[in-house]
Amino acid sequence: MTETTLNQTKEAIEQYDQDKPENDIDLIQTVRDILINVGLGPRLSDAFDSSKYIIDAIGRTSDIQRFLLNRYWELQLMSHDGNTMEERYCLIPNGTTEEWITLFKTKIVPFILDNNLPRVI
């Protein structure tokens, strides 16, 4: 490993372990609330709350939560037999948190409702 790669790895680990700022949005709770509001509450304990990605995201910064939520939803979307490229494209790694939430509500939520997601994987 080069020194640059080692430094990047160290920075990523430090970012992952950062304390969540008090004013930082909790994306896990936000997504959970969205899913409950569309009627998916009964499914969440088995298919959402117990996922390693979601468990690991609790208490992390919103950037880390977004990264882990994206991994979780990419896996959920890839478990569907059809083409999910457009939906997976909407799981943006950059941009504002508000943009991510808007895309989640307008593109991901309708898809998961239409396709019986999330499911236990």
pLDDT digits (tens, 9 = 90+) for 6-58: 676 677 677 777 888 899 999 999 999 999 999 999 999 999 999 999 999 99
Neighbours of 5 (CB within 10 A): 9
Is residue 1 scored above 70 in pLDDT?
no
Sequence-distant (6+) residues with CB within 8 A of 43 are: 35, 118
Predicted confidence at residue 39, as pLDDT, reads: 97
pTM as predicted: 0.90
- Report the mean per-residue pLDDT for the chain: 92
| In the chain, domain spans | 24-114
Closest CA to 61 of 111, 12, 8: 12
